[in-house]
Amino acid sequence: MVKKTLNIDLNRVEGDLEFELDVEDGMVVDARCIGVMYRGFEQIMIGRAPRDAAVITPRVCGICGTAHLYAATLALEQIWGIDVPPNATRIRNLCLLTESIQNDIRQSFLMFLVDFCHEAYRSHPLYAQIMDAFAPFKGRHHLGALEQSRDAVGIVALFGGQWPHSSYMLPGGVVGKPSIRKIIETRDIINKLTRWYETAVIGDTLENWLSLSKSDVFFEGLEKDSNKANSALGLFTRFSRTIGLHQIGFGSASMISFGAVSDPLNPKAHAMQAGVFDGDSGEIGPLDQSAITEHVRYSWFRHYDGGRHPHKGETIPDYQSESDRYTWAKAPRYDGRVMQTGPMAELIIGGDPLTTDLHQKEGASTWLRQFSRLRRIGFSLMQMKETVDALSEDIHGDFFLPPNPQDEVDGKGFGMIQAARGGLGHWISIKEGVIDRYQIITPTAWNASPRDSEGTHGHWEQSVIGLPIDDMENPLMLGHVIRSHDPCLVCTVHMLPTGKKLRFSV
């Protein structure tokens, strides 16, 4: 058997990502997911005033800054025992949903679907339609996605002053109250987004789409209704399944979600519940943050034994190029288990019957993972409409409750939310009035983790082991599998020199 090792540098991801694969007889037998960036945000926070978290951590990522802001603010509010008025939660939710939609649109149309335009697929019977729809800066859906994702974040600018890197959330609420003008402009943006989503993306009404619960009805619609078949979702589905994306990229069967869209009247409840899906039993259980640990056995950080809860975690770089360590990412685990997170986990744990039915029949495939992202846009639009309606009915309600300075005490707290890419958590420790410890676990940290202390591969690594590599010069399927997770390595971890034997460019 001939064994080859490939170093593959993936482009069109958020950050810098390499995969090192061992390939025998045309199949991946081992994989190492390499995050080649080290940034040090967690160390930057140490010794700073606690409120600096709401200014600095949104700079972790240019795509999901609202999510980091939200998580940091929740952690501070937990430590200080601060209540938040319903309107503040509504505005926070609205902006987070907006950020999620722009991310889902950009990831789908600008990052993932353009792979289908590769020369390798030129002989495919759907290739002409694919090019017409998804060709970069030419395809009708690509151009539509550019426009809609640009306009969507105008909602965050209305309530938060700017996007990205906003800092409008603070302990006790938000800095700007709702107004008639903001409500009207927000409704206009949502209505425009909805019309585009209905006509271009799903080929159906939002109401019909969200009421769909059976996979056989979904596939039947693609066969009988040309609007659905020729929509972006229909074309994506038809092409994906002819090349087998519904049969690859499964990875870890267990999933985790931190819960989407907090209830303004009951912050512990969510429109999409938090929870953990057990891949062995198929059951969904409650989420217990105390069961979360981080391992560094195969990471370029100072060693400690086993896994540590984030409140006891540390981030001290220890780069050893000649060791068996291989990444700047840590290895988060839940109750010792490898988890995947993202839109698919959110919808399954949150109770969407269509995604659940598809998952039960076919598993957590590359196709279903990307399908879930397009499906989630519909739920986000619905929640945004409901949130704006609630704001308009309580437009004069409180949006900020000033904390008592005496309440800003030392302590430990955490903020956990469902970001665009999955579960995001910030854990903060305050001692003598300054941040003593700060740990962030991002969605990509869960998905792109290396092996843990037991030697168990992370989710992405598992998802490509066993994958056939037909063309060593162009491993297209690898790109499909990894991009379906919407990688964001800037969140997870200054460029370091690395040797590359092969560059994968699509």
Query: Is residue 117 part of an annotated ligand binding site?
Result: no
Question: Which DSSP helix (H) or strand (E) runs through 222?
Answer: helix 215-224
Alpha helices in 81-205 (DSSP H): 86-106, 127-134, 140-152, 154-160, 180-196
- Mean pLDDT of the chain, nearest integer: 92
Instruction: Say which residue, 124 or 16, is predicted with more confidence.
Output: 124
Whole-number pLDDT of residue 379: 98
- Greater confidence (124 vs 34) lies with 124
pLDDT score of 506 more than 70: no
61 known ligand binder: yes
The average pLDDT across 210-226 equals: 98
Using H for helix, E for strand and C for coil, what is the string for 306-367?
CEECHHHCCCCECCCCCCCCCECCCEEEECCECCECCHHHHHHHHCCHHHHHHHHHHCCCHH
266 strand-pairing partners: 263
> What average pLDDT does the segment 201-228 reach?
98
* 119 carries a ligand binding annotation: no
Counting residues of the chain whose pLDDT is more than 90, the rounded percentage is 82
Q: pLDDT tens for residues 318-356? A: 998 889 999 999 999 999 999 999 999 999 999 999 999
Instruction: List the CATH code of the domain at 3-503.
Output: 1.10.645.10
* Reported confidence tier of residue 19, pLDDT bands at 50, 70, 90: confident
Q: What's the pLDDT at 1?
A: 52
318-332, 425-439, 453-467: least confident range:
318-332
Dist. CA 376–CA 14, nearest whole Å = 20
440 annotated to a ligand binding site: yes
Q: Which of 24-28, 226-230, 254-258, 414-418 has the lowest mean pLDDT?
A: 24-28
Query: Is 33 annotated as contributing to ligand binding?
Result: no
The lowest-confidence range among 99-103, 365-369, 383-387, 491-495 is 491-495
Q: Which residue has the higher pLDDT, 18 or 324?
A: 324
Query: Residue 188: is its pLDDT beyond 60?
Result: yes
Given a cut of 90, whether residue 432 has pLDDT beyond it is: yes
Question: pLDDT tens digits for 476-502?
Answer: 999 899 999 988 644 332 222 333 333
pLDDT score of 121 more than 50: yes
